[in-house]
Amino acid sequence: MKKIFIVFILISIPTLLFSEPDFRKVNWGDSPDYVRSNETASFESSDLSGSIGSIRYSTVISLQDVVLFYYFVQDKLVASAYSIEENLPASGNIYINSFEKFEALLQKIYGEPIVKEIKWLDETLKNNKSDWGLALALEDLNFFTFWITNKTEIEHVLTGDGGMKFYHLIRYRSVELLDLKEQAEAEGL
């Protein structure tokens, strides 16, 4: 029995020592202090005054400026996100190109998505791909992709707001702590 226990410990040690972090250099459930001490991106701001808090950084991924967010509930990291920003006022087509670039990167990391959809709310501009940027701006077109790993849900989203503002996000959420985040949001904490 003692030999089985020793073999189990020897097998477990490499897994514990060399396991990949859940997101960047941190794991779900880590404290805000731990995240701050391990994040190398440029700090911008934080709001950790309540049960739900966030820390905001700026960084560059694949030659693209992004805003990086970490979200906490009860001082536990439960989610994170990249907001992909364009440097200049950009058309919807530029955002679509950026979405496709990041989509390819995410597929290299996570494989084929579980869900991949291009959703048309009004198909008037669907037949001419050069008009898709306008459709995106008018909220007639949305892009959504979803993956799930053992510990993390990943969403890749591109949408417009009906004006000329676009939202290109990559969101990561802890599978294990998802209930904690949803409960805190429902309670308005």
Within the chain, which residues score under 50 in pLDDT?
5, 7-16
Q: What is the structure's pLDDT at 16?
A: 46
User: Residue 90: what pLDDT?
Assistant: 64
What pLDDT, on the 0 to 100 scale, is given for residue 88? 53
Residue type, 142: N
Q: Structure pTM?
A: 0.84
In the chain, DSSP assigns E strands to: 42-47, 52-61, 64-73, 76-84, 115-120, 141-148, 152-160, 166-174
For residue 70, what pLDDT is reported? 98
Task: Give the pLDDT score at 26.
Answer: 98
